[in-house]
Every structure is written in structure tokens, then in C-alpha cells.
Amino acid sequence: MRVLLTADVHYNHPRSKPLARDLIDQMNQVGGDVLVVVGDTAVADGDSLEQCLLLFDFKGPKLFIAGNHELWTRSGESYAIYTTQRPARVRALGWHWLEADPFVAGDIAIVGSVGWYDYSFAQANLGIPLRFYRRKVSPGAAARLSEEYAELLTDTGDVPAHAMEIVARWNDGGHVTLGRSDEEFLDELLARLDQQLASLAHAKTIVAAIHHLPFKELLPPSHMAQWDFAKAYLGSDALGKCLISYPNVRHAYCGHSHFPCEATIGHVHAINIGSGYRIKAFKTLEL
């Protein structure tokens, strides 16, 4: 079985769209048995999702996973979009909503999840208190926007001086409304993923497609403090622990960070596809 996987197509982004079309053309020419899109195809608003997915000329099963951008909206209904609206739109196009139903072919199975984050990837050397991560703003940015984030700054005795120089925000804070904490959302997703993996004990090989990073070994190298702040939102240790607990999970693919990386953690061969705004990529897995 040949499985083609890509991520971070970002078809709604003007700069990204021409590159996305080229990528899809390449994948159409290569062909395969199963196609997997591992999140961040398009934001929730508008019809970029439909425009993009209709470009794939693929005869076999087409599997779809949401990314954080799939939850981006101006309506404030991200959780309803993720649980109801987005699955309906994907299925209407003839695609398989992998997050609800694993794909099984003989003794091979593919499971998927958007993943999410619980700040376990936050960089300890930055010394940024948890309350800033939960509001998705660095101390320096909160100080510059003090009216909006005043409650974070009532007592800065626990904030190192160098952290006050870090100016960054994570855009999920302005585009995603879940009606629950990030940790609670991740727990819900993990429970579903664990249940699916437990139901696949008969499968010889499981491929896990998770938009957010399941292992810190896939994090980009340190670059600058603003980017190190963002690592808190790239994934979670809990995702990797869930995958590792099942010996038949042999492969894990993710996206999100736009940084290509590969690592073997225990029995899992993990790959970040490395697709992004400026460079598009796909991977081929032969099973």
C-alpha cells in the first residue's frame, strides 16, 4: 500500500495558494492507494476548503484531519465548527473524516487527530509563567497591550527581566474559541484517540496522523526567543505517550511547525512533513 501524506496546504492564504496547486499537481501525478491531509488545509470561513480538496484527483480513499487553522473563524464557534460543521463539509466532498473513524485496510490502520497543546513544550529557560501561555501572549507583548492583558501584569515578581523583552502572540488566541481550556480540549481528543487505538489491537501496523507534534524530538531548533515562546503551542508530550503505549503504532506523521524533522522514539518512526507557507512538501509511505 502506498500512502501519500501532506500537511499545511494553507489554501486560503494568497501567498500559499499557487504553491499548494503545484503540490497537489505533483501528488496527483505520483498517485497512490491512500491520501492523507494532516491539517491546516484552510480556515473555517469561506470556501477555500472546497476549492482545495476538489483539486485532488485521487481515486483511492482520501482521509482528512483538521489543524488549528480549521478552527479559525470570525464567528466565535470553533468547537461547533470542529465537531459538526467541518466534518459535514469534508464528507460532502467525498472525503473520510479520520478523526471520528479510523481507516482500516486488512492488517493496516490509519488514525488521525488535530492533536492540540497543553504547554508541555513550553521552554523552561524562558521562565514565562503559565498564565501568559494560557492567554497566548508573551510578557513583553502583554506589557505593550496593557489594557487588554492588565490582569497578567498585576504582579510581575515571577517574571524574569529577559521575559519582559519577549514580544509575541499566538494567533489561535484571536481566532479560536473552544468554550473550554486548551488542556480540557486536548484531554477530550486524547480520550478519543486512545479509544480508537485500543479498538485496533488486531492491526499489525498503525499509522498515526496528528497535526500537532506528538514528540518534542520533532520541535524546531532554537532560533529566537519569540519562536521559542511559540513552541508551547506546537504539541504535547501526552500525544506521544498515548502513541507509544500501543506497540502496533509504527509510524507517526505531523505538520504544524512547518519544520521538516524525523526521529525514532521507541517503536514509532515519527516524521514532521515540513510543509509550510513558502515550501510545500509531501511524504510517501510504502506499507
CA pair distance 151, 153, nearest whole angstrom: 5
Looking at the whole model, is its pTM more than 0.95? yes
In this structure, the strands spanning 96-97 and 103-105 are: unpaired
Strand 268-272 relative to strand 261-265, pairing: antiparallel
**Secondary structure element (H or E) that encloses residue 241, with its range:** helix 237-244
Low-confidence ranges of the chain (pLDDT < 50): none
Contact 275, 255 (CB under 8 A): yes
Find out if CATH 3.60.21.10 is the number for domain 2-126+177-286: yes
Q: Closest Cα to residue 189, out of 93, 65, 273? A: 65
Q: Which three cell numbers mark 257?
A: 511547525
Given this model, what pLDDT does residue 76 score?
86
Q: What is the pLDDT of residue 223?
A: 86
- Calpha distance 25→35 (Å, rounded): 13
Q: Specify the pairing of strand 62-65 against strand 108-113.
A: unpaired
What is the pLDDT at residue 85? 96
What is the reported pLDDT for 84? 97
Nearest to 110 by CA among 283, 241, 250, 256: 250
Query: What letter represents residue 220's amino acid?
Result: P
DSSP secondary structure letter of residue 83 = I
Strand partners, 265: 268
DSSP code of 233? G
CA distance 206 to 177: 32
Angle between helices 182-198 and 237-244 (to 10 degrees): 10
